[in-house]
Amino acid sequence: MRNVIKFDFKTYVNNFVDDDNMNKILNRKAEIYNKFNNATMIGWTEEFNKRLLEDILNLRDYIKNNYDCLVILGIGGSFLGSYALKNMFTKYFSDNSFEVIYAGCDLSSKYLSELIEYLDNKNFAVNVISKSGTTMETMIAYDALKQLIRKKYNSEEIKNRIIITTDESVGKLREEVIENDYKSFIIPSNIGGRYSLITAAHLLPLSFFLDINNLVTGFYDGLSLTDEAYNYACIRRCFFDLGKYVENFCVFEPNMSYYTEWLKQLFGETEGKEKRGIFPVSTLYTRDLHSLGQFIQEGNPIIFETFIKVLNTKNFYVNDKNLNNLNGIVLDSVVNAHYSGGVACNIIEIDEINEMNIGKLCAFFMLSAAYSGYLFDVDPFNQPGVEVYKKFIRDNLDHFKVDNRNDY
């Protein structure tokens, strides 16, 4: 498995960097590392318990041997990582692999009702993932699936079909595990949702699609990229000081679209507080060159871009042209064009999508997001804004209950 990752935060950036400011930011390194190393929520940098992988792989085999499909319920940090990587590691068209369905990440009654209808004739298990055990979207989907499970199976069967991944000791889901003796996994209390990629929250779902051993190895390898991650955080901070308030994550492979969703949550929730932070957006090129390309090239100059370049996807020839190479040429051309239009472009290059590279890349981005939060002088590991919205919903639901509407 080739394992190469390269960073270019210079070639298409230099014209825009204010050297004095950049040096000032770079010089905060000792302070930022010190804050990071003393943070309580960096459980994801601690030694990995290999036993967890064994437990996950055994359960995966049990599920595959006994059921037709697994339904994963979760949202935000309990969803995006595994969904993003699932997309990158599976074929675009049906590959006859074991069926894994995701739900609980919105409130679509059409989706949920059609899912229940679909599952009626399926032999399925469910993995509900929520650190808090209280998130409305996840819990509603879980309630709906529980109703179906209870209708279809006896209590002994139910016990084997529900797997709960949640906090070790607090929350409604943990209580359910204890009451019913359900199979469960822990999201450690010192790891927040968007930093939970290398926990059972994502590793169990991902065990159906990729080699989680290599992913974990790549991730821990990537934790050594501290200086690269810090440089990236500094460049971004520098751009922000120049009025570049929007970072556009650019990919050229449709199966990476959800990877940029994961990045958007990682950076958005980490930095976006106390009226600070860079607003993360994403584009899938070449598709979006035909829609947003105009704005990026010539519009309001508040954007900088970070390209994730995958050198080798798949060789496929059309009229003697290698499409993989063509995509690479187009990427370089877009970078040159945007740079000429005043848009700074970071380039992160991997030679191919494999578990080691992606594990490493994820570690790099997680380190960088955390450093970046500290460079913005905010707490990288909380998300008070998400809690505000959750509280408004709870209050409004209570209000409806007063009006005798207990049905959500």
Q: What does the alpha-carbon distance between residue 95 and residue 85 come to, in Å, rounded to a whole number?
A: 16
Residue 269 is a catalytic residue? yes
Give the shortest CB-114-to-ligand PA5 separation in angstroms.
Answer: 23
Enumerate residues 278-307 that contact ligand PA5 by CB under 6 A. none
To the query of whether residue 290 is one of the catalytic residues in this protein, the response is: yes
Stretch touching ligand PA5 by CB under 6 A, among 64-72, 114-122, 189-197, 355-363 = 189-197
Site for ligand PA5 in 365-394 (CB under 6 A): 383, 386
> What is the Cα–Cα distance from 388 to 237, expressed in whole angstroms?
27
Tell which one of 35, 60, 194, 236 touches ligand PA5 (CB under 6 A).
Answer: 194
Closest residue by Cα to residue 267 from 309, 301, 243, 232: 232
Query: Directed axis angle between helix 355-375 and helix 257-271, to 10°?
Result: 20
Cβ 314 to ligand PA5 shortest distance, Å: 33
Q: How far is the CB of 396 from ligand PA5 (least distance, A)?
A: 17
Neighbour tally for 177: CB within 10 Å: 21
Sole binder of ligand PA5 in the list 192, 222, 272, 280 (CB under 6 A): 192
DSSP 299-349: S-S-EEEEEEEEEES---EETTEEHHHHHHHHHHHHHHHHHHTT--EEEEE
**Which residue lies nearer to ligand PA5 by CB, 77 or 359?**
77
Cα 359 to the center of its chain, rounded Å: 12
Give the nearer residue to ligand PA5 in terms of CB position, either 118 or 389: 389
Rg (CA), the chain: 22
Q: For ligand PA5, give the closer residue by CB, 59 or 141.
A: 141
Q: Both tokens of residue 44?
A: 């994801």
> Alpha-carbon distance 196 to 6, whole Å?
24
User: Quick check: 193 binds ligand PA5 (CB under 6 A)?
Assistant: yes
**Residues contacting residue 244 through CB under 8 Å, at least 6 positions apart:** 16, 278, 301, 302, 303, 304, 344
Note whether 359 binds ligand PA5 by CB under 6 A.
no
203 contacts ligand PA5 (rule: CB under 6 A) = no
Please select the residue that binds ligand PA5; options are 138, 207, 255, 346, rule is CB under 6 A: 138
Cis peptide before 286 (omega within 30 of 0): yes
Look up residue 206 and give its amino acid: L
String of contacts with ligand PA5 for each residue 4-43, x by CB under 6 A: ----------------------------------------
Q: How far apart are CA 189 and CA 197, in angstroms?
A: 14
Query: Which one of the listed residues 269, 271, 305, 355 is annotated catalytic?
Result: 269
- CB of 67 or CB of 195, closer to ligand PA5: 195
d(Cα 145, Cα 164) in Å, to the nearest integer?
A: 13
* Residue, CB closest to ligand PA5: 193
Q: Can you say whether the dihedral through the CA atoms of 75, 76, 78, 81 is positive or negative?
A: positive
Q: Which stretch binds ligand PA5 (CB under 6 A): 128-136, 141-149, 284-292, 293-301?
A: 128-136
Nearer to ligand PA5, 63 or 73 (CB): 73
Catalytic residue among 91, 110, 151, 290: 290
In the complex with ligand PA5, the residue whose CB is nearer, 77 or 272, is 77
* Nearest-angstrom CA–CA distance, 225 and 33: 13
Q: Which is nearer to ligand PA5, 133 or 359 (CB)?
A: 133
User: What does DSSP assign to residue 9?
Assistant: S
Site for ligand PA5 in 59-78 (CB under 6 A): 75-78
Interacting residues with ligand PA5 between 250 and 279 (CB under 6 A): 269
CB of 265 to ligand PA5, least distance (A): 6
Would you say 277 and 245 are in contact if contact means Cβ atoms under 8 Å apart? no
User: Which is it for the CA torsion 358, 347, 225, 378, positive or negative?
Assistant: negative
List Cβ<8 Å contacts ≥24 apart for 179-184.
183/59, 183/159
Residues designated catalytic: 269, 290, 390
Residues that bind ligand PA5 (CB under 6 A): 75-78, 130-132, 135, 138, 192-194, 269, 383, 386
